[in-house]
Each structure stands twice: as C-alpha cells, then as structure tokens.
Structure 1
Amino acid sequence: MPITHQRERVVLEVIATTVADAQAAARGGADRLELVTAMGEGGLTPSIGMIEAVVEAVTIPVNVIVRPHSRSFIYDSNDYSVMLLDVRAAKRAGANAVVIGMLTPSHEVDRDGLQRAIDAADGMPLTFHRAFDEARDLPEALDVLLGFEAVTNVLTSGGKPSVLDAQAQIETLVQRAAHTHCTVLAGAGLTVDRVADFVSATRVRAVHFGSGVRVDGKGLAPVDENKVRRVRTLLDA
C-alpha cells in the first residue's frame, strides 16, 4: 500500500472591519480574521466594543491590529503608551493575537519596541504586519523577527505594492522561515483568480485577503462570503 503524505492546509486569513464581515468570512471558510478599523488607511486599532462583539460572533481566531495612527511605523513614547494599553485591552477582550509592527528611523525592526509589545501581550502571540515591507532589508528584518519566539507570523507583500509582483521575494522569505516557529503570511493584492498559482509558485503556507474577497473587489465594501468560499476551495484543491 503506498504511503500518502497529507499536505499541510494553507491558512486563509481575512480582514474584517465589522461583525457582519467576520461572520461572512467565517461562513466562507476563513481560518482566522484580522480585525481592523479604517481599512482605507491600511488598518487601525478597532474599538474594544468591536473586538468583544466579533470574538463573541465567530468561533475562529480573531487577530486584532494595534496601530495608533497611519502617519508612519516609527513611534514615539506617547504612541507606545497607547499601543501597550491597546495590546493589553485586546487580550482582555478575547483577541487570539495582536497584529503590530514598528521600525526605527533607519527602517530596521525596532527591537526594543517589539519586546515591549511582547511583554504587554504576556504570552499572546504577535503577527508583525506590513511595517515589515518598509524595512530597508527584508531578509535581515525577517532574521531579526525570527529571534522573537512570540512573533508567529510576518505579514508581507514582499516589499511591493502587490504581493503578486513579488513572487521571487516571497519564495525567498518562505525558504528563510522554513522549519521555524514563524510563518510568512502573504498578502496585499491577492485575487481569487491568481491565488492558486501564487501559492504553488511560492510554497507559501498562509495567505491574507482584504479587497480580494470583498464585493466588487473594493476595500470599503463588505466581505463576500462566496469569494471566501472560492478561495478556500482553491487552496484545498
């Protein structure tokens, strides 16, 4: 009898901005949510009420972005005070993880700031978000993040506006993170039509969808449950 190897399921993460988004994504087969507000600004910290309501409304993990403003990913002491309060509040509200990222003025990972966020998270895992794509050297930035056990995902478009234009970069990062505690989460610009080829080409094990699974592909439109279901079917095929 031939030995069959079960292929690891590709994780599907979907951005939610409302309770209805969260429920539609969950019904469509998303494995996990990234909960944000102000999607037009790249995602900012949602309200505590929103976090609690979404956690209550779905059974899949809810990862919550902690980002105090959209000016930059370089934060001052006041920003950190707010972010650490939000990390603790998100955990109390039932978040599975926080999605966070911070850079130094020279566009390297802000290790001290990251460690403070990890300490505030008190055992809750972190996804390092697309601040990563503004780092001056992506492989070097990934190596830094691999040094933090609490960072279990790195959301990246490979340094390009659309991840579909960064297949080689994503493939390199996936290889670099192989056999570590950290998963490369590919996102920004993914579409239903191209996700299967992209996953095959890059060997990425986790994908992140925003506009690509929304009505008419518009960022401020609701999540389209059928598009989520189609992506899930393609990933499982």
Structure 2
Amino acid sequence: ISFSFVAGVDPIVGLQSAWIMGICTSLAGGRPGMVAGSTGAVAIVLPKVVEKGIGYMFYAIMLAGIIQMAFGALRLGKVVRLIPHPVMVGFCNGLGIVIGVAQFNIFKVRPPSSDDGRRLVETFGAFAPFTNGWDWIDATMGGWMAFHIAITLATYILFPKITKAIPGSLAAIIVSTALEWALVRPIGYKTNTVKDLNSVKGSFPVPVWIDTKFGYKDIMPPLNSETLGIIIAPAITAAAI
C-alpha cells in the first residue's frame, strides 16, 4: 500500500500486484525460499509513466518482464557484476531519501479531487511536500500521527526480539491500528486511514483486457511506436533494478 502511493496508483493495485508477484516468484524462483524486494525501487521510477495513464504503467511492467526473461535466457545476469559498488550504494541511499521525503505529504491537508489516479501522483510525487503549497495539518493530529509512527517503528524493531512467530512488520500494523481505534478515536481525535487517502474497493483481479469494470480502450493506450517511446526507458530501468 505504501509503495502504491509512491508510484501514484490505487492502493488495491499495490495489494493485488504484491500477492501475484509473490506467487510468480515462488513458482519460477527455483529455490526453497525466495525474497522479492524490488517494489520500493521500481515504485520510484513509475510516477512519470502513471501521469500519462495507468495503462502505460501496465505496458512498461510487461516489457520489463520480457526484458528480464530475455536476460535470463541469454544468461546476462552476470552483467550486474560490472556495476560499481558506489553506484549501488548511491542508488539505495537516494531511494531511501525519496521514499522518506514522500511521507511528509501525509502531514498535509489534501485538497478534494475527483481524479484519484492523478491526485495520488500529485500527492506523493518525490518532493511534492515542499512544492505543492498545501497547508500542514493541525498540530494535534500531527502529534497523534507522530505517536503512531514512533509506536509502529518501535514495535517493528523490538517485537522480533520477543518472538519471531509473527513478522515484526505485521505486529507493528496490528498494534498501531489497535491504538487508533482503542485509544485515539475514543478520546475524540483521529488520524488519516488509507480510506481517507483513497478508496479501496477490492475484488479478484481480472486481466484488463476482459475486465468489465471499464473498457479496455479506456485504460490501455494503443500499442504503437509512440507508446513504446514512452514506456521503453522506465521498462529498462525497472528490469535493471
């Protein structure tokens, strides 16, 4: 969900793509245990594509997958070893900074908009918190949000020291959510939830070509040279990441 905001897409897209990618990683990984952690890095390169339409993002990710399969078939994975270590460190540091800065917009008052996709792109652009001119939320709500952040971070770090039966990230979400509904709201305050930022209407994912919720032509651009010119750079970047 967090990285769907960074990428500028509906949270349900992030949720569905996460479990689909997990299944694909398990089926095609060829290892007893696999970790697929590319979400954050890939999310950073997608907002500019999403600005033109989410259909372009779908095409870009499909092309990135094709490029990755081609690299695997040709055994070109060894090329990654040629990338200097400082480049990798610099990229990871830059990624952390961009993701961190994007969180500041949570502390700002979002103006109403009927275009959810565009709204998310504007809201969670990398340095939008310092350029969009929106007002900051009141100090009381900001204080409670900072409290949630501190509790969530502390739970995430400390819970694994108690037991590893439950992942620290899951425990942090449970504890922070429980505090919101058992403590913060009963005393008359509230903090924003995912629903406040964007509606989440879940359903089993259906390929966009046969999804009846919207017409294929309304979301997927024509696959021509112009579309290829838009998606080629982010597709190569996503595949490389």
Question: TM-score of the superposition, structure 2-length normalised?
Answer: 0.27
Structure with the bigger RCO (C-alpha within 8 Å, sep 6+) is 2
Question: Which protein has the bigger helix share?
Answer: 2
Q: Rg: which structure is higher?
A: 2
Which structure's residues are more often strand, by fraction? 1
